[in-house]
Amino acid sequence: MQSFLDPAILFFVFGLLAGALRSNLEIPPQIARFLSLYLLMALGLKGGFALHQSGLTMDVAVSLGCALLLATVVPLLGYHLLKRVLSGYDAAAIAATYGSVSAVTFITAVQYLDNHNVAYGGHMAAAMALMESPAIIMAVLLANMVRQREKEQSLAAESRTVRNTPLSRILHESVTDGAQLVLLGAMVIGIVTGQSGHDAMQPFAGDLFKGMLAFFLLDMGLNAARSMSGLKGKSPWLLAYGLVGPLVHASLALGLCVLLDIPAGNGALLVVLAASASYIAVPAVVRHAIPEANPSLYIGMSLGVTFPFNILVGIPLYVGVAQRVLG
C-alpha cells in the first residue's frame, strides 16, 4: 500500500483514470520525448557516478552476463509458446517486445529502491542497455525464417514475397537508437567526471528527477489507458500472457540471481528488467522490420496490460520477493 502513496505512482493512476474517462488531457509528444531523454540521461549519470566509485568488479561482470542471458532466453521461450496460438510474425513481434525491456519501468523501480533505502549497483543501468537489442535481432531472424518457409510452401510466392529485413540494418538501428545512446553517453560522462561531476549535476540529475518522473508517468498512464482499447475482442490467451508472462520471466531471473549469488538490490532490478516489456524501442523497429505483425497486439499488450501491472503491482512484488530470497 505504501507504494501507492508515492506521488509518481499516483500520477500514473491519475493518467489511467483520465484516459479511461476519455479526457482531452494530453502531454505534447515533444515534451514526452524530452522527459524520456531527461530520465535516461539522469539515470545514466547516476550509474556512471556509482561506477566511478565502485569500479569494474566480478559482481558487475556477473550481473551484466546474467542480463545478456535473460535477454536471449526470454524471447526464445516467448516465441515458441506464442506461435502455438498466433502467426509466426505476431509471435516474433510479441516475443521481441517481452524479451526487450522498459526503461520507464526500470527507472520507476530504481526510484522505488531509493525510497526504501535498498542498495544497488550503478552498473545496472548498463544491464538495461545491454538487454535492449538481443530480442529485436532474434525477432527479425525468426520473422525472416517464417518468410522463407512461406516462400518455399507457396505456389504463388512471386506475388506475396516480402523481402527479408537485412540484419545489418537492424543492428545499426539497435546500436544507434537515440535513447540508448543518451543513456550510455551519460554513463560514460559520469564515470569520467566522478565526484566533481556528481556535485555539479546534482540539481539536474538528483533534485529534479522525482518530479520529472511523475510528469512522465502521467503521460504513460494516459497512453496505457488508450492502448487497452486495441485489445478488445482479442484472444484471452493474450491477456493471460501479458499478466502471467512477466511473472514467469521474473521467476527465471530470480532463479539465476540465486544461482549466481547476486545481491538483493541488483537482483531486484534484474527481475524487474526480465518482467518488463518494451513499448517504444522495439515497436519502432518492428513496425518496419516485421510489417506483417499486428501493432495493436504487441503495443496494446505491453503498454495496456503489462506496463500498468508492473508499475502498480509488479515492482513492489518483485522487490519484496528479491529481498526475501536474496537478502
- DSSP per residue, 274-322: HH---SSHHHHHHHHHSTTS-HHHHHHHIIIIIHHHIIIIIHHHHHHHH
Q: Which three cell numbers stand for residue 179?
A: 535513447
Q: Which one-letter amino acid corresponds to residue 218?
A: L
Q: Which three cell numbers stand for residue 223?
A: 497512453
Average pLDDT, the chain: 84
pTM for this entry: 0.82
Give the pLDDT mean for 265-271: 95
**Which residues, 6+ apart, have CB-to-CB distance to 151 below 8 Å?**
157, 161
Is residue 260 situated within a structural domain? yes
Residue 228 has pLDDT above 80, yes or no: no
**Local structure of 15: helix, strand or coil:** helix
Q: How far apart are the first and last CA of the chain?
A: 22
When mean pLDDT is compared across 63-72, 75-84, 134-143, the lowest value belongs to 134-143
| CATH code, 234 | 1.20.1530.20
Total residues found in the chain within this entry: 327
Give pLDDT tens digits for 22-58: 888 888 989 988 888 888 888 888 888 877 877 778 8
Residue 78 has pLDDT above 50, yes or no: yes
**Local structure of 86: helix, strand or coil:** coil
Is residue 179 situated within a structural domain? yes
Residue 196 has a CB neighbour count (10 Å cut-off) of 8
What CA–CA distances, in Å, run from 266 to 121, 269, 291? 6, 5, 36
Domain count, the chain: 1
Q: How many CA atoms lie within 13 A of 296 on its CB side?
A: 9
What CA–CA distances, in Å, run from 323 to 64, 215, 247, 255, 266? 20, 29, 16, 13, 10
Return the DSSP state at 39.
H
pLDDT recorded at residue 175: 59
Is residue 23 situated within a structural domain? no
Q: Which one-letter amino acid corresponds to residue 221?
A: G
**Which residues, 6+ apart, have CB-to-CB distance to 119 below 8 Å?**
113, 263, 265
Banded model confidence at residue 157, pLDDT cuts 50, 70, 90: very low
Residue 194 has pLDDT above 80, yes or no: yes
With cell 550503478, the residue in question is: 122
Q: Which one-letter amino acid corresponds to residue 322?
A: A
Is residue 207 situated within a structural domain? yes
Nearest partner of 142 among 164, 159, 160, judged by Cα: 164
Please give the Cα distance from 223 to 303 (Å, whole number).
Answer: 8
- Helix, strand, coil percent content, the chain, rounded in steps of 5: 80, 0, 20
Is residue 109 situated within a structural domain? yes
pLDDT recorded at residue 69: 94
Please give the Cα distance from 259 to 261 (Å, whole number).
Answer: 6
Is residue 59 situated within a structural domain? yes
Is residue 187 situated within a structural domain? yes
What would the DSSP string read from start to end of 50-88? Answer: HHHHH-S-HHHHHHHHHHHHHHHHHHHHHHHHHTTTS-H
Is residue 224 situated within a structural domain? yes
Residue range of the domain that includes 67: 2-18+28-153+162-326
With cell 539515470, the residue in question is: 43
